[in-house]
Amino acid sequence: MKKFFKQVVSFFQKHRQINSLIICLCISFFLWLFVTYGRDYQHSISYTLKFTDNEHKVEYFTQDSVITVGVKTNGFEFLAKSSARNKKNIVIDVDKLNINLSKGNAAVPSSQLKTQIMQNLGYRGVDITVSPATINLSWNKLYSKRVKVINTCEFKFERPYGNYSEPELMTQDVVIEGAKSEISKVNSIKTKPIVYNNINKSGIFLVPLDLDLPSGVTCRMKSVPIRIYAEKYTENVAMLPVKVLRYEDYRNIKVLPKQVKVRYRVAVKDFAKVNEKEFNAFVLCSDDAMAKSDKLKVNLSNIPDYVKVVSIYPQKVEYILFK
């Protein structure tokens, strides 16, 4: 590398006329740049106006949403503001305009917009023109109401974990805004039907809302928190005798089999609390039940809330009537 550099230096030392040529070219280039971009240019670009405010609940409309902005500035600033020429929207803060919002409409002179337009485009101390000369602006008052949030998410747990209680919607309702006629169509907002898999611990999920709302209706809250209580579970089996509950006087009735096998799940932390002797398995014996089938459905009672029944075998038992 050093050898190459020495060769380059040696070449320019031997050919001094080339050095002079390069210097002249550089001077010519900078002179051309100064002459070309030092003078003023006039250019016109179209933008879309968007009106907003932070204090009033108002929805704005305008038929003159597209404006043409003419800017006269020197070429250097023209190059520096190339990003401004690529902007599509100019946001106008209505709070900074002299408008009476009680009327519902106004003819806004474009001259009132110049300051905010220049701030949006990044120009300072230059002359701009805006057309059309007047912007016809109208607005509707926005109403708000609270609507219920409905969870449509599904939470699936990694074994041996399970949901200890129902998912808890930490935000029960949200506020929507819009025209009175439109928000009356909305009574609830659902979460997006997302499936969360392989959950193995308690936590809070930030779930997005399904904001497919009528035109002009908005909801500032985009997601809601849902708390999940996960616990490690274990399974066990209880053999329960089947009792016969009689609506009438069926004294000579026997059921086969006399016992059913109940498989249940319980959180490990609650396992010691389970008392299988308190569980009851029974059938309801009546003329209607026996007329419909030669088997009776097995029912369970006294099952604690923290115990989740997985299966009953058999689910129906045969019965025998004795005279």
Q: What is the DSSP string of 238-298?
A: EEEEEEEEESS---SEEEESSEEEEEEEEEGGGGGG--GGG-EEEEEE-HHHHHH-SEEE-
**67 touches 130 (CB < 8 A):** yes
Return the pLDDT at 263. Answer: 97
Region 84-88: mean pLDDT is: 62
**Tell me, what's the pLDDT at 257?**
93
pLDDT for residue 240 is more than 90: yes
% of the chain at pLDDT higher than 90: 42
Q: Report residue 224's pLDDT band, with 50, 70 and 90 as the boundaries.
A: very high
Phi/psi of residue 11, nearest 5 degrees: -65, -45
Where are the domains positioned within the chain? Answer: 38-141, 143-228, 233-321
Determine the length of the chain. Answer: 323
Longest CA pairwise span in the chain (Å): 133
- pLDDT value, residue 49: 87
- The residue among 79 and 194 whose pLDDT is bigger is 194
Task: Tell me the C-alpha distance between 270 and 6, whole Å.
Answer: 85
Q: 233-321 architecture in CATH?
A: Beta Complex (2.170)
Look at residue 264 in the predicted model and tell me its pLDDT: 96
Interval 108-130 mean pLDDT: 81
Q: pLDDT value at position 236? A: 95
Given a cut of 60, whether residue 160 has pLDDT beyond it is yes
Segment 198-227 mean pLDDT: 93
Please give the CATH architecture assigned to the domain spanning 38-141.
Beta Complex (2.170)
| pLDDT band, residue 80 (cuts 50/70/90) | low
pTM above 0.85, yes or no: no
Q: What's the confidence (pLDDT) of residue 294?
A: 85
What confidence score (pLDDT) does residue 15 get?
A: 56
Region for 210 from its dihedrals, namely left if φ exceeds 0, alpha if ψ lies in -120 to 50, beta otherwise? beta
d(CA 72, CA 3): 53
Task: Tell me the fold of 143-228.
Answer: RNA Polymerase Alpha Subunit; Chain A, domain 2 (2.170.120)
Of 8-12, 68-72, 131-135, 181-185, the range with the lowest mean pLDDT is 8-12
Instruction: Give φ, ψ of 265 to 5 degrees.
Output: -115, 145
- Give 314 or 2, the one with higher predicted confidence: 314
What phi and psi, each to the nearest 5 degrees, are found at residue 70? -100, 130
pLDDT > 70: percent of the chain = 78
Q: For residue 221, what pLDDT band results from cuts at 50, 70 and 90?
A: very high
Per-chain mean pLDDT for the chain: 82
- Please state, as a whole number, how many other Cβ atoms lie within 10 Å of the Cβ of residue 153: 18
pLDDT of residue 91: 87
Q: What is the pLDDT of residues 5-60, one digit of tens each?
A: 566 556 555 555 666 666 666 665 555 555 555 456 667 788 888 888 876 677 78
Would 143-228 and 233-321 be classified into the same CATH topology? yes
